[in-house]
Chain A
Amino acid sequence: MIGRLTRRQLLALTAAGTTAMTFGSRLAFAQTGKTLRTRAYSDIQILDPAYRLAQPEGDVMEAIYTRLISFKPGDSWGWELDGAEKIEQTSPTTVDFTLKPGIMFTNGFGEMTAEDVKFSYERIADPKTESPYKDDWANLDHVEVKDKYSGTIVLKKPFAPLWSSTLPSGSGAIMSKAAVTKAGGRFEASPPATSGPYTIKEWQPKQRLVLVPSPDWKGEKPAFDEIVIMPIDDEKAAELGFQAGEIDFTSTSVSAIPNYLKSPPANAKFVRKPSLAYVWMGMNQDNPALSDQKVRRAIQHAIDVPAVLEAAYFGAAEPSTGIVAPGLIGHREKNLYSYDPEKAKELLKEAGKEGGMELTLSVLNKQEFVNAAQAVQAQLPEVGITVTIQQYDSGTFWVLGDEKTGTTWKDIQLIIGRFSMQPDPSFATAWFTPEQIGVWNWERFNSPEFGELHVAALSETDDAKRDVMYKKMQDLMEESGDYVFLTHEAVGTLASDKINAAIRPDGIALLSKFTAN
């Protein structure tokens, strides 16, 4: 009965197939139930807390591991109990903790104990581990195990960032001693055991990571049957994916924030949060053209920061007063020097540069930085400075000031930099100490007082005193003439109205705390 396929039949079959593919897939989207589809800006590489590389790994770790305390979602920084039933700072150098009973590791590695806490924290602190995060536990002496569930974190000296960044972050994740030891002491993308509300179902590299509720989780039932995390590095592509209904949650590009504030997509919630990141224009004080402090100070006065930000972020980002973001200890209310082109001309004249000068401005080839550079390039001729912009890809840009990888550190003059950070001011100041000259301190800002203050502030547990210290450190930076503070940027997030997104004050997602509407 099977005859030859006629052309008409072939066309009909093709049309039917296309229809089935189109609408069949739509049906599949509708049937996903309580699935949260979210975007990460890169794929995961390493889920070992001691060697994690970037925030997307931190997002996953937040959902699959337990810490003593975790970040609270909301608009102000704070923490709440996670794996700890109770935790208390009993002296400037001791923290007592008691674990909740019944926190289970997957893959048959049993219940979480104080011994696992000791193993996890001492492992990162141990120089033999070669963890890039060992500074998070730099002042850890040891963890004393009292009984199965309780113990004491003993510090060599007070360590202020312990509560704000170490304990609630990846460095505070508690790993199974037995599982990590069995895995050979370290692992990459396949954790030998997890302990959070979710666990990994599958990882398709560069495509998706699927989390499902952990069968060993005894706490409150996780809100979603699946969390699908898709690595989409381009923010615009992610925004289109959101508009096409394929993603429930994503961060947005900074430049898109004004538009989304005016008209968010249908059935979506748009939230703008201040970022912790800081962007600045630096001046290499060891470069002959900028060695005179008067020249650097003139440039500080010659930059109209709001105009630069308008060009770079289209009104989405506010000017910053330093490197410590609003809401954190040490945030300054205002700058020392303001936009004053006449003052700039005066200073240049005093420096013998009234005839003008030429400088280069090195930037990463991201649109907002290039736009900012072009604004600076447009402003500085008013005081007689001609600027040539040099754009670099990230691989080249991030070693420009590194003494060990070449000699470009001598040639860089003006640079626009951006660093991200954890919610403690020490994460911002760490890169500008004298020890960091030629590493990450590319301006070669050399202030022993700054270095001493950084070390002292790490051990200062009085918040009021820390606040004064960090403000002073930023004053020193600005007084040196090496910095024009630009912005902390902003983070935009789009969330489907089918979900309640749990977001940190800096816009970072806390996936385990997302709920469905």
Chain B
Amino acid sequence: MLVYGIKRLGVALAIVVAAMIVLFIMIYVIPGDPVTVALGPRATPQMIESFRARMGLDQPLVVQLYNFFANVLQGDLGRDVLSNRSVSLVIMEQLPFTLALIAGAMTWSILIGIPLGCYAAIRQGTWIDHLMGVLSVSTIAIPSFVVAIYSMLAFSVKLGWFPAIGAGDRGDILDQLHHLVLPSLAAGLGWVGYIARMVRASMLEVMGENHIKMARAFGLPERMITFRYALKLAILPTLTLLGIGIGSMLSSAVFAEIVFSRPGIGKLVYDSVIVRNFPIVTGTVLVTTVFYVLATLFTDLLVATLDPRVRQSLR
């Protein structure tokens, strides 16, 4: 198990380094100049040169890459081209909003997806199962920005139940939760379908296993068999899916943050790419890559811990 953990950690580190190298090459290749954006149209050539040198943007790609990693190892992600604020600080200000959004999205997808999947498995082949199948595929097919816009129109503009913009007052948890409802629904609804289908498939597989048949033979109640024995095993592949889903939800978060004008990492990186604010882009991608890699690593280790079959295979 320890060796497995160390191996996975090594792979995770390699993924982060590779992602950053690819990002740096992309940044270097695409047209656009952060200095023009930062200084505006009235900047003189002297100002531009001086600014470029100060930000290290006049250095070759390899030197910029080396400097970036050297600084990262010292905990320094650089300075925002526009505001000259610390990139770490800028990211840390935005990260909690995105984490809350992802947590909310996960909650929606788990709360709706798992019961849907279970129910469809129990009622396999009935019209309810077919209806669940249609619903699952529908939630997967509807893009999150469409959910965001229509939920805003319905629940904010028309009914006035939930706020349309922002993330709520700082220090007021209820207000923040209130502001979180629609964006998290928009980011998480697509995953309801994935989870429901995964749970249904796993449940059907587990329900056919011998220990479930034996439980039935002993006359245990169907509800106890489903939730206490079958779901416990069927949920394990879903954990892996959720780990992968965090990466996808980061993408959905961009749309939710833009539509609902919420602060967050997604909107931060989107705005930064538009204005070629490269230190923010690299810092944000580094943090999100690390976050994603850690999330998948954690779920893999969790599955390995919980599932005796996986544990056995690692020996």
Are A205 and B94 neighbours in the complex by a CB distance under 8 Å?
yes
Q: Does B93 contact A (CB under 8 A)?
A: yes
Q: Which residues of A contact B175 (CB under 8 A)?
A: 25, 28
Q: Which residues of A contact B45 (CB under 8 A)?
A: 404
Q: Does B107 contact A (CB under 8 A)?
A: no
Known A45-B83, A241-B165, A393-B274; contact A398-B174, beta-carbon cutoff 8 A: no
Are B263 and A207 neighbours in the complex by a CB distance under 8 Å?
yes
Give the shortest distance, in Å, between A442 (CB) and chain B (any CB): 12
Q: Which of the candidate stretches A110-118, A162-170, A232-240, A279-287 sits at the interface with the other chain?
A: A232-240
Q: Which residues of B contact A208 (CB under 8 A)?
A: 166
Q: Does A221 contact B (CB under 8 A)?
A: no
Summed over the interface, the residue pairs from A and B with CB atoms below 8 Å come to a total of 138
Are A440 and B36 neighbours in the complex by a CB distance under 8 Å?
no
Mark contacts of B255-271 with chain A using CB atoms, 8 A cut-off: 1 yes-contact digit, 0 otherwise.
Answer: 00011111110011001
Q: Does A295 contact B (CB under 8 A)?
A: no
Known A22-B161, A205-B90, A399-B36; contact A237-B259, beta-carbon cutoff 8 A: yes
Known A188-B83, A232-B261, A440-B41; contact A395-B268, beta-carbon cutoff 8 A: no
Known A207-B167, A230-B261, A232-B165; contact A21-B174, beta-carbon cutoff 8 A: yes
Mark contacts of B29-57 with chain A using CB atoms, 8 A cut-off: 1 yes-contact digit, 0 otherwise.
Answer: 01111001111111101111010000000
Are A241 and B31 neighbours in the complex by a CB distance under 8 Å?
no
Are A399 and B33 neighbours in the complex by a CB distance under 8 Å?
yes
Q: Does B157 contact A (CB under 8 A)?
A: yes
Query: Whose C-beta in chain B lies nearest to the C-beta of A204?
Result: B170
Q: Which residues of B contact A396 (CB under 8 A)?
A: 30-32
Known A22-B178, A207-B167, A237-B165; contact A45-B42, beta-carbon cutoff 8 A: no
Are A398 and B36 neighbours in the complex by a CB distance under 8 Å?
yes
Are B274 and A394 neighbours in the complex by a CB distance under 8 Å?
yes
Are A233 and B174 neighbours in the complex by a CB distance under 8 Å?
no
Q: Complex: how many Å from CA A507 to CA B259?
A: 24
Identify B268's interface contact among A134, A206, A406, CB under 8 A: A206
Are B166 and A395 neighbours in the complex by a CB distance under 8 Å?
no
Q: Does A243 contact B (CB under 8 A)?
A: yes
Are B162 and A205 neighbours in the complex by a CB distance under 8 Å?
no
Q: Complex: how many Å from CA A237 to CA B181?
A: 17
Identify A132's interface contact among B42, B85, B164, CB under 8 A: B42
Q: Which residues of B contact A46 (CB under 8 A)?
A: 82-83
Q: Does B153 contact A (CB under 8 A)?
A: yes
Are B258 and A234 neighbours in the complex by a CB distance under 8 Å?
yes
Q: Which residues of B contact A352 (CB under 8 A)?
A: none
Interfacial residues of chain A within 93-149, with CB under 8 A of chain B in the complex? 130, 132-135
Q: Which residues of A contact B30 (CB under 8 A)?
A: 395-396
Q: Complex: how many Å from CA A353 to CA B76?
A: 59
Are A402 and B157 neighbours in the complex by a CB distance under 8 Å?
no
Known A189-B83, A237-B165; contact A21-B37, beta-carbon cutoff 8 A: no
Interface residue tally for chain B (C-beta within 8 Å): 58
Interfacial residues of chain A within 186-213, with CB under 8 A of chain B in the complex? 188-189, 202, 204-208
Are B47 and A130 neighbours in the complex by a CB distance under 8 Å?
yes
Give the shortest distance, in Å, between A449 (CB) and chain B (any CB): 23
Identify B263's interface contact among A22, A134, A206, A241, CB under 8 A: A206
Known A206-B94, A234-B258, A396-B32; contact A26-B160, beta-carbon cutoff 8 A: yes
Interface residue tally for chain A (C-beta within 8 Å): 51
Are A22 and B162 neighbours in the complex by a CB distance under 8 Å?
yes
Q: Which residues of B contact A189 (CB under 8 A)?
A: 83, 85
Query: Whose C-beta in chain B lies nearest to the C-beta of A25?
Result: B178
Q: Complex: how many Å from CA A231 to CA B271?
A: 12
Q: Which residues of B contact A388 (CB under 8 A)?
A: none
Are B47 and A230 neighbours in the complex by a CB distance under 8 Å?
no
Query: Whose C-beta in chain A lies nearest to the C-beta of B153?
Result: A240
Q: Complex: how many Å from CA A247 to CA B164?
A: 10
Known A204-B170, A205-B90; contact A188-B84, beta-carbon cutoff 8 A: yes
Q: Complex: how many Å from CA A234 to CA B260?
A: 10
Looking at B41, B45, B170, B264, which has the most chain A CB atoms within 10 Å of its CB?
B41
Q: Which residues of A contact B85 (CB under 8 A)?
A: 188-189
Q: Does A405 contact B (CB under 8 A)?
A: yes
Q: Does A245 contact B (CB under 8 A)?
A: yes
Q: Complex: how many Å from CA A402 to CA B83?
A: 24
Q: Does B23 contact A (CB under 8 A)?
A: no
Q: Complex: how many Å from CA A277 to CA B238?
A: 54
Are B263 and A205 neighbours in the complex by a CB distance under 8 Å?
yes
Are A246 and B163 neighbours in the complex by a CB distance under 8 Å?
yes
Identify B160's interface contact among A188, A204, A245, CB under 8 A: A245
Q: Complex: how many Å from CA A502 to CA B271?
A: 30
Are B164 and A241 neighbours in the complex by a CB distance under 8 Å?
yes
Q: Does A90 contact B (CB under 8 A)?
A: no
Q: Complex: how many Å from CA A245 to CA B263?
A: 20
Q: Does B112 contact A (CB under 8 A)?
A: no
What are 7 A-B interface contacts by the 8 Å CB criterion? A45-B83, A207-B167, A238-B261, A240-B152, A246-B166, A398-B32, A406-B31
**Other than the known A135-B42, A205-B94, A402-B33, what 12 A-B pairs have Cβ atoms closer than 8 Å?**
A22-B161, A45-B82, A132-B47, A206-B93, A234-B258, A234-B261, A237-B260, A240-B153, A244-B157, A244-B165, A395-B30, A398-B37
